[in-house]
Amino acid sequence: MLDSDEAMVSPLSSLSVKDFVSSVAARTAVPGGGSVAALVGSVGAGLGAMASLLTYGNKKFESLDTQMRKLIPPLYSLSHELVPLVDADSAAFNQFMEAAKMPGKTEQEIEKKEQAKKEALTNAISVPSTLAKKVNTVWPVLKEVSPIVNIQCKSDVQVCVRCLQTAVWGAYYNVMTNIKDVTDEKYKQQVTDDIKGEIKTMEAESAIILDILEKRV
């Protein structure tokens, strides 16, 4: 079993799959849903890149090479861009917990503590918001990939889409959990509207892609 202290010190993204799963299953608050959502999104984008690469350079799909050459990079890039968010989400949680532990007896200490908590909370909202926005950039790519991807990779792309959906939902749940502690009503409403907008985008775009894939035989 992975020691919980070791899990806290080591960057999560550098752990083996086995050790990462053990750290998630451990009796610690991090890594939690936010880190898992980022990882699932990264793996999902990777599946999309894999399926596209197994179409590109294949003699059977030679006529698609130019198109696939354009579609592969965004998926491949996203799979790597989301990895740092695995650690960033846990770091944001730790930042908030450290702020909560700050002394708050004097007026100066209280002011300093509240400012630290505000900054940490903003960061805890920013990380999942970034995750949702990044994931939603690749739906147009997958809409092009889905009708032409190697049919043998159909299920891989379907899993890709479901992973990306989960990443956005995970981001939504984390934002909505953290936004409850925000006192700035204007900021709270803006963030709430933004993340709900990301959900709507994800649901609409992913439904189209899954329908395209389901009809392919």
Q: At what angle do helices 185-215 and 107-135 cross, to 10 degrees?
A: 20
pLDDT at 9 over 60: no
Alpha carbon 87 to chain centroid distance?
Answer: 11
Question: How far apart, in whole angstroms, are the C-alpha atoms of residue 20 and residue 26?
Answer: 10
Tell whether the model's pLDDT for residue 136 goes beyond 70.
yes
User: Is the model's pLDDT at 8 over the cut of 60?
Assistant: no
**Is 146's pLDDT higher than 70?**
yes
Tell me the pLDDT of the chain averaged across its residues: 94
Q: What is the pTM of this model?
A: 0.92
The pLDDT score that the predictor gives to residue 156 is: 98
Percent of the chain with pLDDT over 90: 93
Average pLDDT (161-183) is: 96
Q: What are the tokens at 154?
A: 């159909």
Q: Residue 97 and residue 38: Cα distance in Å, rounded?
A: 21
pLDDT tens, 91-134?
999 999 999 999 999 999 999 999 999 999 999 999 999 999 99
Alpha carbon distances (Å) from 174 to 97, 163, 165, 197: 16, 17, 14, 15
> Residue 146 corresponds to which amino acid?
S
What per-residue confidence (pLDDT) applies to 2? 36
**In this predicted structure, which of 10-14, 70-74, 187-191, 211-215 has the lowest mean pLDDT?**
10-14
Contacts of 147 (CB under 8 A, 6+ apart): 212, 216
* pLDDT score, position 1: 35
Q: What CA–CA distance (Å, rounded) separates 100 from 208?
A: 44
C-alpha R_g of the chain: 20
CB-CB contact of 86 with 171 (8 Å): no
CA dist 114 and 93 (Å) reads 16
Asked if residue 10 has pLDDT above 60, the reply is: no
| pLDDT 10s digits, 61-103 | 999 999 999 999 999 999 999 999 999 999 999 999 999 999 9
Neighbours of 108 (CB within 10 A): 10
Q: Contact 37/129 with Cβ under 8 angstroms?
A: no
CA-based nearest residue to 177, from 127, 115, 114: 127
